[in-house]
Amino acid sequence: MISVHLLTPFPDMVNAIINESILKIAEKKEMVKYTVHNLFSYADPPHHRIDDYPFGGGSGMIMKPEPLSRAIEESTKDVNPGDRVRVIFPTPDGKVLSHATSEELSKADRLIFINGHYKGIDQRIRDRYVTDEISIGDYVLTGGELPTMVILDTVIRLIPGVLNTYESAETDSFANELLDFAHYTRPEEFDGMIVPEILLSGHHQKIATWRLDNQLEKTKKNRPDLFKKYLEPKEESE
Ligand code: 6GU
C-alpha cells in the first residue's frame, strides 16, 4: 500500500478531492492511505505564522522553513528501511510532468506533497528534503493544491488494480506515444450525426486500422511534436 502525505495550509481543498471518485475508491481498496497535514498546526504559537517576508526584499511572502520541516519529519517518522520515499514540490519552476514521471512515482512506497503558497517556499527546504520539483505546465496557479491533485490523480490511477482493468490505463493517450482515438457509443445516429460505419462492422482488423489512422491524424494535427517523435526511429531515451 502506498502512503500519501499532503502538507497544506488548506486541508479542505485537498480533502474535497481525495474523498471522491477514483482516489477514494483506491483508499477503500486499501491500495493507498492518505494523511493530510494542516501546516498551521506545525507553526509556532501564539501566531502560528507559516509565511514571512523575503530576505533581500521584493514582493510576496515566502513559506517559513520550520513548519514545513516539522510536517515532513512527521510524514516520514514511520518509514520502513528500504522504502522508496519521494518528497514532491509542485512548482512552476519544476520539471514538466510527464506520463513517465507519473509511472515512476506510482512505484514509490511513500509520496509526500508540499503545497506551496504565496511567492514560494524557503530554498533550504528544497535543498534538504525535496526529491522532485514538478510543474504541470507553462501557466501559473495560485497555489500548490490543484497541481498536487493533478499529479496525485495521474499516479494513483496507474497503480495496478486501482482502475477496473489495468488495460484501461495501458491504452491511454501517451502510454503508447500517440493521442487516443475517437470513441462512440449508442445511439448509432445522434441528431443527424452517424457513427463511422467500420465501427459497427464487427471487423476487428479494420477497426484497429481505423483507430490507428484516427490516432495518427489527431496527433499530427494537435501535437506535431509527438507525431514527429513517433515517426523517428527508436533510440534509447532516459
Ligand atoms: Cl506545480 N504550481 C503553481 N502554483 N503553478 C503552476 C504549477 C505548479 N505548474 C504550473 N503552474
pLDDT, one tens digit per residue, over 168-205 is 777 787 777 899 999 999 999 999 999 999 999 999 99
pLDDT, one tens digit per residue, over 201-220 is 999 999 999 999 999 999 99
| Residue 169: predicted pLDDT | 77
Q: Taking 90 as the threshold, does the pLDDT of residue 8 lie above it?
A: yes
| Residue 45: predicted pLDDT | 98
| Residue 236: predicted pLDDT | 60
**Distance of alpha carbon 143 from alpha carbon 119, whole angstroms:** 9
143 and 186 belong to one structural domain: no
196 inside domain: yes
Query: Does the C-beta of 135 come closer than 6 Å to ligand 1?
Result: yes
**Distance of alpha carbon 44 from alpha carbon 16, whole angstroms:** 27
151 and 175 belong to one structural domain: no
pLDDT, one tens digit per residue, over 135-173 is 999 999 999 999 999 999 999 999 999 998 655 777 787
18 and 74 belong to one structural domain: yes
233: preceding bond cis by omega (within 30 degrees): no
86 and 196 belong to one structural domain: no
Q: Judging by DSSP bridges, how do beta strands 62-63 and 120-121 pair with one another? A: parallel
145 and 190 belong to one structural domain: no
161 inside domain: no
CA 182 and chain centroid, separation: 24
Q: Which atom of ligand 1 is nearest to the CA of 148?
A: 1
238 inside domain: no
Distances (CA, A) of 135 to 17, 97, 146: 19, 6, 11
| Residue 166: predicted pLDDT | 53
pLDDT, one tens digit per residue, over 24-50 is 999 999 999 999 999 999 999 999 999
Q: Is 82 left (phi over 0), alpha (psi -120 to 50) or beta?
A: left
| Residue 172: predicted pLDDT | 81
147 and 206 belong to one structural domain: no
72 and 7 belong to one structural domain: yes
Q: How far is the CA of 152 from the centre of ligand 1 (A)?
A: 14
103 and 221 belong to one structural domain: no
Based on the structure, what is the number of domains in the chain? 2
| Residue 168: predicted pLDDT | 76
CATH number, position 212: 1.10.1270.20
CB atoms within 10 A of CB 48: 13
Query: Does the C-beta of 92 come closer than 6 Å to ligand 1?
Result: yes
User: Which of 176, 212, 186, 150 is CA-nearest to residue 17?
Assistant: 150
133 and 63 belong to one structural domain: yes
Range of the domain at 179: 171-231
| Residue 149: predicted pLDDT | 98
91 and 205 belong to one structural domain: no
Query: Does the C-beta of 144 come closer than 6 Å to ligand 1?
Result: yes
Domain termination residue (choose one: 127, 156, 185): 156
176 and 66 belong to one structural domain: no
Confidence of residue 117 (pLDDT cuts 50, 70, 90): confident
CATH number, position 76: 3.40.1280.10
Q: How far is the CA of 163 from the centre of ligand 1 (A)?
A: 27
Q: Taking 70 as the threshold, does the pLDDT of residue 58 lie above it?
A: yes
Q: DSSP labels for 120-173? A: EE-HHHHHHT-SEEEE-SSS--SSSHHHHHHHHHHHHTTSTTSSS-THHHHTST
C-alpha cell at 158: 496507474
166 inside domain: no
pTM of the model: 0.92
Query: Does the C-beta of 120 come closer than 6 Å to ligand 1?
Result: no
Sign of CA dihedral 103, 173, 148, 12: negative
Query: Does the C-beta of 147 come closer than 6 Å to ligand 1?
Result: yes
Q: How far is the CA of 79 from the centre of ligand 1 (A)?
A: 28
Query: Does the C-beta of 136 come closer than 6 Å to ligand 1?
Result: yes
Q: Which atom of ligand 1 is nearest to the CA of 147?
A: 1
| C-beta of residue 35 within 8 angstroms of C-beta of residue 72 | no
User: What's the first-to-final CA gap in the chain, in angstroms?
Assistant: 27
163 inside domain: no
**Distance of alpha carbon 148 from alpha carbon 135, whole angstroms:** 10
Give the residue whose CA is nearest to atom 7 of ligand 1. 92
177 and 150 belong to one structural domain: no
| Mutation probe of ligand 1 site: the residue of 96, 118, 136, 142 with most atoms within 8 A of C-beta | 136
CA 72 and chain centroid, separation: 20
Q: How far is the CA of 91 from the centre of ligand 1 (A)?
A: 5
Domain termination residue (choose one: 111, 130, 156): 156
